[in-house]
Structures are given as structure tokens and as C-alpha cells.
Amino acid sequence: MQNVKVIEEHQVGLLSKIDKILKITSDQCVEMKKNNIIAPFGFKKGLADYFFRLNYATLDDALGPICQIHRASTLPPAEQAAMISVIVLSRRSRVKFNTSWLEDLYENILLETQADRITPLATNPGRIMLTSSRLYFQPFNNIDRWPVLKIRIKDIRQIILRRFLLRQLGVEIECCDTAPVTHLYLAMKTEADRNEFYEKITHLEELQLEERRQEDMTLRWQSGITSNYDYLLYLNSMADRSFNDLTQYPVMPWVVQDYHSSQLDLDDESTFRDLTNKLSVRGSEDLFVCIFCVNQERLPDLPEPKFLYGSHYSNPGYVLFFLARIAPEYVLCLQNGRFDHPDRMFNSIQDTWTNCLTGASDFKELIPEFYAGSGEFLVHNGVINFGFRNDGRPVGDVSLPPWASDPKDFICKLQEALESDYVSRHLHLWIDLIFGYKQHGEAAMEADNVFHYLTYEGSVDLQRIKDLNERACLETQIMEFGQTPKQLFTSPHPQRLTSGPIPRPLVAHSVSLHIKPEVQVVSNVHLEGGDAPSLMQTNLSVDVADKQDDKEEGTAVNFKNFDSLTPQLEYTLHKNIVTAVHMSADEKNIFSVSHDGLLKMYSLEEQRQLRSVNLSSMPLSSCVVMPDNKTIIAGSWDNNVIEYGSVQETLQAHDDAVSCIMWMERVLYTASWDGTVKMWQLEEEQDSVTHSEYLGQLDHEDGVLCMDTQASCRRLVTGSRDGHLALWDLDHCYLVSSISLHDGPINACYMCLESRRIVTCGADRLLKVTDMDTMTEMFAKDLTHPVLCIGALGSLLVTGNAAGLLQVWDMDVGQVVAQLEAHKGGITSIDTRGVLLSGGEDRCIRLWKPGP
């Protein structure tokens, strides 16, 4: 705005059909994302006129505020910020929450106040309203995905008070995966406002928070129940580090120092970095001089309080140094529209490590992406031009050490190193430096761990600083030069008690910078240790029988009595193949659909058919029973999704036959031969699929025949007619990975979230197990007959094949451990929830229970 000379209404001719044109005259124009290509900003110099026609506001309303901002741009930085703050405050004070957005007219309004939503490098102002059943955030602008973000109180899992700009203003809300967002980071105007909000929301009856006491987590880590990775993420969260705040991004340690060998030897202690000390220039004369002067107080010009390091081990620049390839727009935002010099970018693991050891001011630690996911941030997609290095080479993929074959292998080996015995024995020493007692005082001085005082919590109260220029300078330094995590421990952290193979993390974190889908970091945890894992092994200290007993308590069917199963009930009501059979949650009714187009409801209490409804003239492929046990949603070959309940409604969902449908946590998933999976949000208050909210679709190259997901999992697996297995991210509707797995159609798939394995069965008569994290095939079994459907019984799998056999698989060994002849012809559907139901090509439905 400083380059703008004139802002006025442009006068057009009397015969013009366009009026109210905004004219801006400037001697410089900045072009951003020209032709929708991410590239350094273009700075066009030269006096020129620019004309704008406003589509969503009147010129009379917009001209005054634009001129005000222009006047502010002519002031010194501090006064400029103050004037803009006054303008924003005035506008925010005039905006009230639009109560027409309330979901329920009977909601009791508890609190309405101003708040900013914090995202990486952006602060979006708005208003929050807290009611007895929901939390609402209404942004002042219209750039968000939702005009009003609505979160049900019962979907909230954690509420964490956070500091923002070294002030206690923030609160981060973690939600379940079915909520519109999984994280909402808010910053209030004052600490009192933040505390009032926290007090009111934590007293709501519907709120059910997960218990995560620090003492319990430390004990679980000591005992080997929680992995090193999970524990470090937890400590980061407790120390106010958040993926939403680049100034306080989670920090992880370098644990490996060998980046030149051809093999990574985790049994050799020289492979590992010394975790007793922070990364610093141990051999540098400058450092010794600095330490000597500070400790002996011989440098009178050094301001109080004295410090050793003017830079920090974690700041926004360091985070984006690592993530530049997947978050280039954030780099441009942070660096005034320019990428860093190509030779200063993150080009090599070895060079970066060496620079951290020998550089005078570079001792950056790592970020969680180094220990989770498949290393997308190390790969250049070839679309963005970062420039050429001095030797003429373009900036490309990050150069990996010789012991890593590719980015996935590099991340996997670092994961193993992080969970190794050596790191487990010494990690508490690094925790002392970053989160513990060596942060402050004499212990920090002895450990050479003293940073600039502005990086520490409580070092300055910005509210008490009246000089606007001084406050602006301090805020800039706090924002850009790093912040030390909040101190969690005031005494030495206990050492880990156990060693050996580390269990898989108890929570499958999706660690990533919260950025747009096109630059999203895909990050799943995949840890291995000890002997080669079995096919469906969870690596927890529970044997197969115990796992099944725990999961199937109260269930009539289990491995121990499978051989004694007999059909307690069997009936034939359909005129064609049974395609889906389900038991209601109350175990009173059996619902089924068939190629005859009929929906059948059979009462177990009355032992008779209660309803028979012709839903379509075409075959029905699948159905789900809704939680009310009264409503059924079915998929049809006529391209429609049909709901039958108090009324019958039809949703024209696809352009070809609906092959399967699935219901999970208020979202309906529909798959079709047209090559798409579509997602529809059904609120509990709504009673019809025709009023559902369309969330998005997942596009495939060929028709989709099967799919699966699990509760609290934001991944969906799909199997196609062309034999491809695909894994999808449900938060952003994008493809994580796809592999050609079967020679022909995939008939059924099952996702085992606990072991992170995917089981598929194809028309090629193969049963395969695929690792969910790496999407690599782990096991293949050639079968006599193709499997048509899959169900689960605890840690066991039940399959129905084309020969009419029900088979139970122990996937720890990949063998059939029990089977029975169930139908004449193929088994097309099974339901293993509570009881065992089967339906087949013989039009028969059978309910199986143990015999005497």
C-alpha cells in the first residue's frame, strides 16, 4: 500500500453498463501465484492504473476502509500496527454472532466473545459462541471452508490451554475424527477471556474428555507401553507446541549421527548422537570465548540477562526449511515472496547435520515428519522451480545417506533408531534439556543451554509495554526467532526402565503441518523392532486368545467353539441371490437385500417375516442398518441410494450401479461401478438421505467393488474391478497410495487398524495381506475357491467363499484354523457382530450359534 498513489472511484461514460469501478494508481504491483503456479512473487515497477469491479460488496462500503488502510501504510511500523488494530477492533465490535446459524433453537447460549483462529502463519479473526451443546466459530471473512464452524460438545476429546506469543491466551481443542475439524486453535483477547471460556466449556455435561495425566504418560513410557515417538509428541503438546503454530512447532531430536556409512548399525553406539548435550559448536573457539565471558561476566556490553545463543533450535524458518518442498506457499509468505538461495535450502541430510555441528549459529533440531510417514517432504514434485545451485544443478530431492534406499526407507530406519535401546536409555537426558530442569538456572548454565531471554515463557509482559515501537520489535522477535518450550519438569526426568522391541504407538498420529490438501504431509506411524512381525501382529504383550476374549466378551461366536456351530435359524424368503444380511443392534431383527430388489425384515422374537418392501426394479447390492434399528439404507444397480424408514426416499447418487455402501460415525460412504466413492454427512437430526450434505468423492480408474474403514480412523481402503487397492485420506479426500494387487476384481477388503494391515480377496483366488503404512504386499495365499466376503471375530478373520465354505483364519500364521459347509453355492454376505449371519447364492439366510 505504500506504493499506492491514488485510490478513488473511476468515472465511466454515461453509456457504460458498468459503474462503481474502483481505481488504484500505484508505481508497483506484486503478482502472486500468476497463472495459478506457485512461484516467487513478481514485482512489477512503473506507474499504472488498476481497475476493480466488486462482486460481493458495494464500492461505497469498501472505499472508506481501503483508504483508511492506505493511510495506515504511510505510518511507521509500530503506529501502523496500532492504527490497523483500532480499525479491526472497531469492525469486530460491530459484528455480532448470527444466531440463525444455531443448529437448535433450544440451545442455551453460555458465552459469546471475540477470538482468533490460529493456523500456520495466519491468524483469522472471528467470534465464538458457546452453547449447551455446541461450540461455534464465525470468521469475519469468507475465506474459510465453513461460514460458521460447528463442533458438537460431545465430539471434543481434549481441551488444552496454550500460550500464544508468550502470553496465556490460547486454547487448543482436539476433536474426534467425525467432527468437521480434528484441531481448533483459538487465541482470545485476554487471559481472563480465555479462562472464562475454559471454565464454562469444561463444566458442560456432554463434555467427555480423555484422561492424559502427565504422571500416567511418563509411567507408561518408563514401562515401555508408550513409544518414544508418542511420548515426545505428548511432551510437545503439554509444552504448548502445536502443528497449528509455526512459532511453536513440535520439536524432535537428531538421534543418528552416521550419515556416510552404507549400512546403519543400530547396535553400534557410535551411530548415535550424544543426547546429553544440545547441538552446539563444541570445538569452536568462539563458543568457548562466549561461554567464558558469560560465566565470568567479563563482557559488560552484553545486555542482561546474558545468554549463549542468539538463535534457537526451533523457529518458523527452521520448520519451513525442512518442509519447503510440500509447503512452498508458506515459505513465500514468511520470506516476503521469495524462496531462499538454492544453496542454502534443505538439499542434503549429511550437509545439514554437518552444518548443525560446525556452524556458528545453526543448531536446529528436527520435526516429527522425520519419524513418521513416508518422507514426502524429502521429495521434489518437479512442479515448483526453486532455482539452480552454484554447481548448475537444480534443487531437487533431498540427498539421502547411503544407508537409505529411498525416502520411505530413510524414515523407517530413523523410526527404528528413535525406538532403539540406545535412544531409549538416553532420551531422558535430552528431555531434561528441552522440557526439563536444565532449561533454567545453574543447571542450564552448566549444560551450556542458555538462550536469549525473550524465548522463555514469562520473560516479558507485552501488555505492560507502552512504547509501540518497542512492543512491535519484541513481538517480531518472539514470532520469528523461536520460543523455548514450556518447562514441564523441575527435577531430572526418570530413565526408561525397559528395553527391547518397542510397541507400536497406541495412537496412530497423523503428524503434519495443517496445510491445504495439495501440499498435505502424509504421516502415519510405522514402527518395527525385534523379529519379523507376523501377518497381523500388533506387537503388544497380549496373545491371540487373550485379544479375542477381550474383544469378543459376550459374543456367542469365537474360535474355541467354531467347529460346533449349527444353524439355529435358516429361512429362504428372497427370490434371488442374497447380497447383504445384517443383524440390528438390539439383535431382534435381521435385515437383508437381494438381487430381487426386495428388502426383507425378519423378527427373531416372532420367527417370521415382518416386512417385505420392493425398493427397486433393479438388483440391490448392499445395505446398512442405521443406529435407530428402524431405518435401512440400500444401494441399487439403478444408480440410486434408497432409504427406508418412516418414509422412503431415493438419492440419485451415482452414474452407474451402486456396488456397496457403508455407514461410519454419521458419514455414509457409497461406492459405484462409475469409479467413485462418495461421502454424505447425515446429521442425527435429519431423517432423509435426500437432505444429506455431500462431502466429496474419491475418483478411481475403474469401478469400485469393495471398501472398508474403521471407527476413529481417517483412512479408507477401496478395491477396484481392475485389481487396484487404494488407500485414501478422508480428511482431505486425496489418494495416499495405490497399488495393482490382484489380477482381476477385488471381491472384498478388510482393514485391521490395530495391526495396520489390509486383507484383500480377489477373483484370482488369492488372499493377500498388505502393510497399511508402506502399501507393500506382505503375504499371499493361493486358495482353491475365491473368497467373496470378509468379517472379523476379534483377532481372527471369517471368510465366505464361492464354494459355500465359512472359514476362520488365524492371521498371525496365515492359516485356516476352522471351517464349515454353510451354503450350497457361494457365500455372498456375512455379519459377525454379536452373532454370525450368512447369506448366499442359494437365497438362504442362516443364523449360526454353538451347538450343545
With the CA atoms of 393, 397, 401 and 404 taken in that order, what torsion angle do they form, in degrees rounded to the nearest 10? -140
Q: How far apart are CA 195 and CA 688, in angstroms?
A: 40
Instruction: Return the closest-CA partner of residue 839 out of 818, 825, 820, 819.
Output: 825
- Check the CA dihedral 636-640-645-647 and report its sign: negative
| Model confidence at 293: pLDDT above 60 | no
Q: How confident is the model at residue 851 (pLDDT cuts 50, 70, 90)?
A: low
pLDDT at residue 128 tops 50 = yes
pLDDT mean across residues, the chain = 83
What's the mean pLDDT in 8-18? 73
pLDDT greater than 90 at residue 213: no
- Would you list the domain boundaries of the chain? 4-92, 102-211, 219-481, 615-690
How confident is the model over 673-691, as pLDDT tens digits? 999 999 998 765 455 777 7
pLDDT tens, position by position, 358-371? 876 788 999 999 99
Annotate 50-90 with three-state secondary structure: EEEECCCCCHHHHHHHHHHHHHHHCCCHHHHHHHHHHHHHH
What pLDDT was estimated at residue 757? 86
Q: What's the Cα-to-Cα distance from 357 to each of 28, 362, 364, rounded to whole Å?
A: 43, 8, 10
Q: Which CATH superfamily includes the segment(s) 219-481?
A: BEACH domain (1.10.1540.10)
- CA gap 369, 773 in Å, rounded: 14
pLDDT digits (tens, 9 = 90+) for 724-739: 999 999 888 889 999 9
Q: Residue 838: in which H helix or E strand, if any?
A: strand 836-840
Quick one: pLDDT at residue 511? 44
Residue type, 577: I
Determine the angle formed by the axes of helices 214-222 and 228-238, rounding to 10 degrees: 160
685, 644 contact by CB (below 8 A): no
Model confidence at 561, in pLDDT bands (50, 70, 90)?
A: low
Domain 615-690 maps to which CATH number in 2.40.160, 2.40.330, 2.40.10, 2.150.10?
Answer: 2.40.10
Closest CA to 619 of 828, 766, 804, 772: 828
269 DSSP 8-state letter:
G
The confidence band for 553, taking pLDDT boundaries of 50, 70 and 90, is: very low
- pLDDT tops 70 at residue 428: yes
Output the pTM of the full model: 0.57
Q: Over 70: is that where the pLDDT of 92 sits? A: yes
Residue from 717, 775, 764, 769 nearest 742 by CA? 764
3-state DSSP helix/strand/coil % of the chain, to nearest 5: 25, 30, 45
Average the pLDDT over each of 60-69, 529-538, 682-691 and give the range with the smallest value.
529-538
**pLDDT higher than threshold 60 for residue 589:** yes
Q: What is the DSSP string of 618-650?
A: S-EEEEEE-TTSS-EEEEETTSEEEEESSSEEE
pLDDT (tens digit, 9 = 90+) per residue, 613-672?
Answer: 999 999 999 999 988 888 899 999 999 999 998 778 899 999 999 999 999 888 999 999
pLDDT band with cut points at 50, 70 and 90 for residue 267: very high
pLDDT at 186: 95
Structure confidence by residue, pLDDT tens digits, 474-517: 877 777 788 889 999 988 998 887 544 333 332 333 344 444 33
**pLDDT > 90: percent of the chain:** 46
Averaged over 308-318, what is the pLDDT? Answer: 84
Are 281 and 266 spatial neighbours (Cβ–Cβ below 8 Å)? no
Taken in order 322, 323, 325, 331, the sign of the CA dihedral is negative
Q: Is 620 left (phi over 0), alpha (psi -120 to 50) or beta?
A: beta
pLDDT (tens digit per residue) in 429-442: 999 999 999 998 88
Whether pLDDT at 302 is above 60: no
Can you list the positions of beta strands (E) in 654-775?
Answer: 658-664, 667-672, 676-681, 693-699, 704-708, 715-720, 724-729, 734-740, 746-752, 757-762, 766-771
CA 147-149-154 angle, to 5 degrees, is: 160
Q: Which segment, 108-122, 186-200, 305-319, 779-793, is predicted with the most confidence on average?
A: 186-200
| Three-state secondary-structure class, residue 507 | coil
| Residue pair 233/221 in contact by the 8 Å Cβ criterion | no
Task: Tell me the C-alpha distance between 668 and 687, whole Å.
Answer: 13
136 half-sphere exposure, CB direction, 13 A CA radius: 26
Fold match, 102-211 / 219-481: no
Q: What is the mean pLDDT of residues 224-240?
A: 90
Phi, psi of 218, deg, nearest 5: -65, -40
Mention the CATH class of domain 102-211: mainly beta
**pLDDT tens digits for 147-182?**
899 999 999 999 999 888 778 899 999 998 888 888
* β-strands 156-164, 167-175 pairing: antiparallel
CB 639 within 8 A of CB 652: yes
Highest mean pLDDT among 278-287, 306-315, 323-332, 523-532: 323-332
- The DSSP bridge partners found for residue 642 are 634, 650
- pLDDT of 456 higher than 70: yes
- Virtual torsion, Cα 509, 511, 516, 521, nearest 10 deg: -110
pLDDT in tens, 809-830: 887 667 788 888 999 999 999 9
Overall average pLDDT of the 515-525 stretch: 31
Omega within 30 of 0 (cis) for the link into 305? yes
Per the CB < 8 A criterion, the answer to whether 491 and 345 are in contact is no
- pLDDT reported for residue 119: 86
